[in-house]
Amino acid sequence: MPKCKYDWPEAGERHLIGTRIDRIDGPAKSSGQAKYTYDINRPGMLFGKIVACPYAHAKIKSIDTAEAEKLPGVKVHLVQNVGTEIQWAGDEVVYVAAPTEELASDAVAKVKVEYDVLPHLVHDEDLSKVGDRGKPAAEQKSGDTVAAFKDPDAVISEGFYGTPIVTHCCLEAHGQVTEWADAQNLKVWASTQNLSGLPGAIAEAIGVPATNIEIFTPYMGGGFGSKFGPDRWGIECSKFSKEVGKPIKMMLERDLELMMAGSRPSHYAKVRVAAKKDGTITAWESDSWSTGGPAGGGKPPIPYVFNIPNQVTRHTSVSTNTGPARAWRAPNHPQSAVLTMCALDDLAAKLNMDPIEFFHKNADLASERTEVYRQELRKAAELADWQKLWHPRGDKTPGHIKRGLGVSMHTWGGRGHNSNCNVTVNPDGSVEVALGSQDLGTGTRTIIALTAAETFGLPIEAITVKIGDSKYPASGASGGSTTVGGVSASTRRGTIDARDQLFAAVAPGLGAQPDQLEAVGGKIQVKGDSSKSLTWKQACAKLGVKPVQVTGKNPGLCELGSSGVGGVEIADVSIDTETGLVKINKMVCVQDCGLVLDLKTAESQCYGALIMGITYSLFEEKIMDATTGRMVNPNMEFYKLAGIGDIGELVVHMMTGPGYDERGVIGLGEPPVISPGAAISNAVANAIGVRIPTIPITPDKVLAALEKGGMA
Amino acid sequence: MQAFEYASPTSKEAAVKLLASEWGETEVLAGGTDLLSLMKDQGSAPKRVVSLAAVKELKAIEYNPSTGLRLGALVTLRELLDSAEVRKPYPALIEAAEGVRSPQLHSMGTVGGDLLQRPRCWYYRGGYGLLAQMDGKSLVPDGENQYHAILGNSGPAYFVNPSSFAPILIALGAKVRLFGPGGARDVSLDKFYGTPTSADQREYDLKPNEILTDILVPAAGGAKMAVYEVRQKEALDWPLAAAAVVLNLDGKTVKSARVVLGHVAPTPWPSPEAEAALAGKTVSESVAEEAGKAALAKATPLSKNAYKVQLARVAVKRAVLAAAEGGA
C-alpha cells in the first residue's frame, strides 16, 4: 500500500521519535524564567480577593460593603445578589480589590453579609441517610442476570466499594490577571486548559467580540480537568477590571481552591458479580450512587473494561452541598476501576484463582483490546515479579508486616483534538511553529518541537515553538488526553507541507525532482546520494526573501493518530497490621498509547499518574463536617498528598513497536491514573486477607477491617 | 492581616518590656512557622509582634556531662540536628527533630517554638476558636474528630498537643526557664502544660509578658531513650500518636522508666501506668506491649478516633523496645 502523504516515519527512519527527549522548557522552569499566571504583575494592578459564603446552604439576606470601601484604594464588586441561594461553602458573594494583597484581605474581613442559613447535606457514603436528596435513575440491563445468578455452577461474590470526593489540588491555583488595553480590548493572563476557547467563553458575558479578547498562558501549573472554562472569577474580574480601570490579579487562595474549584465526584456501589467455576465471568449487578455537589453525580461506566454478558445496573444521583464537580483526570474512570476491579478481585479470591490468570481468562470480554491486555498483563506480571511474590489472600508470613500484590486494568480513548498551526521556515534557516495550545506541564511544547524537528531532519533546538497566546491558530482544549494527538498531527501535516515547498525551491539546483529529496541530519539531499546535498541553511537561502508559511490542521488528510488504549498496573504493598499503615513497595505501570513520540515525557506522565494515584488511594479526601457543612481540611497540611518517601519504587513500561506504532499517536494523560486505586486496594486485600471497602486506605479503616475479620 | 508594630529587641529584658500583660495584645516571634500562618488566617491579630531573633543568648547550646544540657529557646531544629553535643547523650531528641519531615521547618522552626505552638485542630484553625465551638457547643464530639484526643478529653478541650519535643523532654525531666518583668522562674515541663477551659486561655503556664528563654535537660546518666511516632506519611505529616520513653536499666532490668505520650491529649501525656508496668521488669516484646496497654487503659476515644488507641499502644511498645535496644 502506498504511504499516505502525511504519515509518521517508519521505525528505521526516525531520528527523534521514540527516543528520550528532555523537555525544552525545563531550564526556563527550573530557573524561574518561566512566568506563570501567578507571576504576572501589571502596572497599576490591583489584587482581588473573594468574600465567600461560610455556609454550605444559605440565602443571601443583605450585603454591606461600606466599611470595606472606606479603606484606601479598595474597590468592591458584587457577584451574587441579595436573595440568591448559595449551594456550597466557599461560593463567592463579593469581590474586593486593593493595591496590596494585605489590604485586600482586610477589606474582605470588613464586608458584612447576612444569610438565612438553610439545611445542608455534605455526606453521601451512607445512602440511607441522604433523604430526598437521592434521585434514582432508570435501571439498565442486558442479558438475563436472574438466570445467570441462579445458575448452580455460579460462584457469586458480593461487596460494597467506594471512593469519596477528592479535589484537583493543582499546584497553581485557579485565577487570572485581567487588563483592558482600551474600552473594547481585553487581555487575560489565565491559568487555563483551554486557551483558544476562552475568548468565546468570555465574550458574550462581558459584551465585546471574542476577537477583542487575547488570552495568554505561556506556562501553567496543572489543571487535571478543572480549568476548562473562564469561571465566574474570570468573567467577573474582567468586568471588575473595566469598572475600576485597572488590571486585577485574582488567584484563588488554597482554601477556596480546595473548597470550590473542583471536586472529583464520589462513587459508591453495592456489587454482585458471578462467574462459572472455571472463572468465566457471567453476571454483574450493581446499585451505585454518587455525588458531585448540588447537581448530583452521574452513573459511572460500570462494569468497567469487561463487557459482562448479563448485567443490571441501578444508579442514584445524590445532590449535596459539597461544592461543584469538575472533570478530574480520566473522569469517572478511577472510581469505576475501584468499583469493578475490586469486585472482580474479590470474585477471583472466592474462586481461588490468581487474579492475573482470572483476567487472562476473561480478556475476551475486554472489547477489541483483548490481545493488548494479554500482552500488558504478561509484561506487568514479569516486572512485578508476580510469579514469585503473589500468594492467595492473606500473607501467612509470621510477624506484623504483611505483603500483598494487586492488579487492575483500564481503558481510555485519547483521540487527538482539532488543532491548527502556522509553520514558518525563514530564508535564514530559522523555523517557527505557532499554535494556540497550552502546556499544562505535560510536555506539549516539547512534542511540537520534536515533531517539527523530525520532519525537517533538524535538532530539536532548531525549532522555535510559540504557544500560550490565543492569537495563534486555534487548537483544542487540553483535556481527555487529546492534546498530543492533536498538536502532533497539525504540526506534522504543516511541517510536511513546508518541507515539500522547500524541496520544490531547492530541487532544480540539486538536479533532482522535489520528491527525490529528503531532509535528514541537518541537510536537504537527494535520497541515497549524500554527495548531492545542501545544508539546511543553504537550502533555506534558496527561498530568497520569501519565507515558507503554511498552515497545518487536524483532522486532515491521512490518519496520524487513533483512539483507544489499555493499560495494566500492579501494586506491591506492605501493611503493618499493628498500625494499619500501608507502605507502597513498588508500582508497575504497563501502558500503550500507540506511537510514542517522546519516550521521556510519556514515561513522566505515567510516573506522575502513579504518584497521583498513590495519593488518592492512601491519603486524599475532601473531609466535610456535618454540622458546619464546611470542608475541614482545605489546606495542604490535612489534605494530604504523597511525598517522595511515600511512593516506593515506580516502574513504567511503555508498549511500543509493531502492533502499537502503526496506530499513530494516542493521548496518555489520563489512562495511567485510573488503576492505582483498584490495584492498591487489591494488593491490601491480598496482604491482609480482608477488603478495605473504600479508598483512601487509612490506618483507621485497616485496623477496623482487621478487627472485624482479618488476620491481625 | 491588620497592621501591627514590629519590635526586634536585643536583650530578654527589653523583650519582656515590650510585651503586654493580656493575651492577644502582643505576640512573640521566633521562627514564625506557626505565628505567621495564624496571623494570616486571622487566628491572631496582635498590635505588636516582638521578634526574639536579635536576642543572641537564646541561641546557645551548652552541654556539660554532669549538669546536662541547656538549649536556648531560639535554637533551630537544624542546629539541634547538627549538634554532636546533643546527638550523643540525647539521641531521642534527635529522633524527635527528625520526625518533623520538612527541611523548611528544620531551618526556621525553633525548639522553644515547638513547645509553644498552638494546636492544629482543624476547627480551631478554621475559625471556631481554641475550643472548637459553635453556638456554645463543641463541634468535635459529633464531628470530624479522627485526629483529636483520646485521653484527657472530657472537655471542653479536645485538641491534641502538637509538640514534637515535649514528650521526650518531660521524660528526661526537663525544665523550662521563663523570663518576665520579675525575673526568671523555672518550671518543670511536666507541670507546664494545662488544659484550657475557655477559648482565651493558653495551653501552658506562660504569662503574656513572659518569654521562654531556655530548656534545661538534666544529665542523662546513661539512661536509654527513644521516641516513636506513628505517622501516616513519610513526608511531612503530624503524628497520629507518639511516645517517648526513657529507661534507667540495671543490667537488663528496668530500675525506673518515664513514658510520655504525644498527640493523644490536650497536653503531653505522662503515663505512670506504663511506667509501673515496666518497673522491675526485663524488657521484652510482651513487657513492652503490656506497657502500651497500661498507658491506654483509661482511653476514652471519640466517635472516629478509636484507632488512635491502638496506634498509641503500638507507639509505647515500639518506643520501649527501641529504647531498650538503643542509644545513650
| Backbone Cα Rg of chain A | 28
In this prediction, residue B328 carries a pLDDT of 55
A634 contact partners, CB below 8 Å, separation of at least 6:
A90, A254, A255, A256, A257, A258, A259
CATH topology for the A330-413+563-709 domain: Aldehyde Oxidoreductase; domain 4 (3.30.365)
Pair type for strands A185-190 and A175-182: antiparallel
In this prediction, residue A528 carries a pLDDT of 86
Tell me the pLDDT tens digit for each residue of B91-143: 999 999 999 999 999 999 999 999 999 999 999 999 999 999 999 999 999 99
Secondary structure of A114-171 in the HEC alphabet? EEEECCCCCCCCCHHHCHHHEEECCCEEECCHHHHHHCCCEEEEEEEEEECCEECCCC
Reported as a pLDDT band with limits 50, 70 and 90, residue A710 is low
Q: Looking at chain B, how many residues does it have?
A: 328
In angstroms, the first-to-last Cα distance of chain B is 47
Does A239 touch chain B if contact means CB atoms closer than 8 Å?
A: no
Does A129 touch chain B if contact means CB atoms closer than 8 Å?
A: no
CATH number of the A37-119+174-251 domain: 3.90.1170.50
ipTM above 0.95, yes or no: yes
In this prediction, residue B175 carries a pLDDT of 98
CA distance B243 to chain A (A): 14
Going from the C-alpha of B69 to that of each of B42, B90, B185, the distances in angstroms are 37, 9, 17
Q: For residue A317, is it left (φ>0), alpha (ψ between -120 and 50) or beta?
A: beta
Does A461 touch chain B if contact means CB atoms closer than 8 Å?
A: no
Tell me the pLDDT tens digit for each residue of A474-487: 999 999 999 999 99
The span from the CA of A157 to the CA of A351, in Å, is 9
Cell 503586654, residue located:
B20
In this prediction, residue B42 carries a pLDDT of 82
The span from the CA of B258 to the CA of B323, in Å, is 11
Domain residues of chain A, as ranges?
A: 37-119+174-251, 330-413+563-709, 416-554
Using a CB-CB distance cutoff of 8 angstroms, which residues of chain A are in contact with residue B237?
640
Pick the residue of B2, B310, B317 with the most A CBs within 10 A to test the interface with A by mutation.
Answer: B310
Tell me the pLDDT tens digit for each residue of A648-683: 999 999 999 999 999 999 999 999 999 999 999 999
B126 contacts A630? CB cut-off 8 A = yes
Nearest Cβ partner of A645 from B2, B235, B304?
A: B235
CA distance A56 to chain B (A): 15
CA closest to B124 among chain A residues: A632
Letter for the amino acid at A417? Answer: H
Question: What are the residue ranges of CATH 3.30.465.10 in chain B?
Answer: 57-116+161-217
Cell 455534605, residue located:
A122
Reported as a pLDDT band with limits 50, 70 and 90, residue A708 is confident
A626 contacts B314? CB cut-off 8 A = no
Reported as a pLDDT band with limits 50, 70 and 90, residue A368 is confident
Q: Tell me: pLDDT of A1 over 60.
A: no
Using a CB-CB distance cutoff of 8 angstroms, which residues of chain A are in contact with residue B234?
643, 645-646
The span from the CA of B192 to the CA of B166, in Å, is 10
Does A700 touch chain B if contact means CB atoms closer than 8 Å?
A: yes
Using a CB-CB distance cutoff of 8 angstroms, which residues of chain B are in contact with residue A623?
144
The span from the CA of A295 to the CA of A291, in Å, is 8
Question: What are the residue ranges of CATH 3.30.390.50 in chain B?
Answer: 224-325
Higher pLDDT residue, A403 or B155? A403
Q: Tell me: pLDDT of A367 over 80.
A: no
Does A106 touch chain B if contact means CB atoms closer than 8 Å?
A: yes
Record the cell numbers describing residue B90, joined without a space.
540525647
CA distance A272 to chain B (A): 29
Record the cell numbers describing residue A314, joined without a space.
441501578
Using a CB-CB distance cutoff of 8 angstroms, which residues of chain B are in contact with residue A645?
101, 233-235
A700 contacts B146? CB cut-off 8 A = yes
Letter for the amino acid at B44? Answer: S
A102 contacts B235? CB cut-off 8 A = no
In this prediction, residue A398 carries a pLDDT of 97
The span from the CA of A517 to the CA of A504, in Å, is 9
CA distance A20 to chain B (A): 30
Using a CB-CB distance cutoff of 8 angstroms, which residues of chain B are in contact with residue A254?
none
CA closest to A632 among chain B residues: B122
For chain A, give the mean pLDDT: 97
Record the cell numbers describing residue A138, joined without a space.
432508570
The span from the CA of B44 to the CA of A265, in Å, is 35
Nearest Cβ partner of A625 from B125, B143, B233?
A: B143
Q: Work out the number of other CB atoms within 10 angstroms of the CB of residue A209.
A: 12
CATH topology for the B224-325 domain: Enolase-like; domain 1 (3.30.390)
B233 contacts A646? CB cut-off 8 A = yes
Using a CB-CB distance cutoff of 8 angstroms, which residues of chain A are in contact with residue B140?
none
B232 contacts A106? CB cut-off 8 A = no
In this prediction, residue B3 carries a pLDDT of 86
Pick the residue of B102, B122, B240 with the most A CBs within 10 A to test the interface with A by mutation.
Answer: B122
Does A636 touch chain B if contact means CB atoms closer than 8 Å?
A: no
A579 contacts B142? CB cut-off 8 A = no
CATH number of the A416-554 domain: 3.30.365.10
A470 contact partners, CB below 8 Å, separation of at least 6:
A195, A196, A198, A199, A213, A214, A215, A216, A436
Rounded average pLDDT over A453-464: 98
The span from the CA of A471 to the CA of B266, in Å, is 59
A700 contacts B304? CB cut-off 8 A = yes
A330-413+563-709 and A416-554 agree in CATH topology: yes
Nearest Cβ partner of B310 from A628, A642, A703?
A: A703
B142 contacts A700? CB cut-off 8 A = no
Nearest Cβ partner of B235 from A623, A638, A643?
A: A643
Rounded average pLDDT over A26-31: 96
Does A704 touch chain B if contact means CB atoms closer than 8 Å?
A: yes
Tell me the pLDDT tens digit for each residue of A96-120: 999 999 999 999 999 999 999 999 9
Find, among A412, A551, A545, the residue nearest to A485 by Cα: A412
Nearest Cβ partner of B139 from A628, A645, A704?
A: A628
Tell me the pLDDT tens digit for each residue of B154-178: 989 999 999 999 999 999 999 999 9
Q: Tell me: pLDDT of A15 over 70.
A: yes
Q: Tell me: pLDDT of B54 over 70.
A: yes
Tell me the pLDDT tens digit for each residue of A223-244: 999 999 999 999 999 999 999 9
B319 within 8 A of B91, measured Cβ to Cβ: no
Q: Tell me: pLDDT of A492 over 50.
A: yes
Higher pLDDT residue, B10 or B42? B10
Q: Work out the number of other CB atoms within 10 angstroms of the CB of residue B250.
A: 9
Q: Tell me: pLDDT of B1 over 80.
A: no
The span from the CA of A258 to the CA of A298, in Å, is 21
Does A574 touch chain B if contact means CB atoms closer than 8 Å?
A: no
Q: Looking at chain A, how many residues does it have?
A: 712
Tell me the pLDDT tens digit for each residue of A574-599: 999 999 999 999 999 999 999 999 99
The span from the CA of B276 to the CA of B288, in Å, is 12
In this prediction, residue A2 carries a pLDDT of 54
Q: How many CB pairs under 8 A join A and B?
A: 80
DSSP output for A520-534: ETTEEEETTEEEEEE
Nearest Cβ partner of A579 from B1, B128, B311?
A: B311
CA closest to A706 among chain B residues: B307
Does A580 touch chain B if contact means CB atoms closer than 8 Å?
A: yes
A468 within 8 A of A35, measured Cβ to Cβ: no
Reported as a pLDDT band with limits 50, 70 and 90, residue B326 is confident
Q: Tell me: pLDDT of A88 over 70.
A: yes
Rounded average pLDDT over A196-211: 97
Residue A260 DSSP label: H
Tell me the pLDDT tens digit for each residue of A502-547: 999 999 999 999 999 999 999 999 998 889 999 999 999 999 999 9
CA distance B25 to chain A (A): 18
CATH topology for the B57-116+161-217 domain: 3.30.465
Among chain B, residues having any CB pair with chain A shorter than 8 Å are 1-2, 40, 42, 101, 120, 122-123, 125-126, 128, 134, 139, 142-144, 146-147, 230, 232-238, 240, 304-307, 310-311, 314
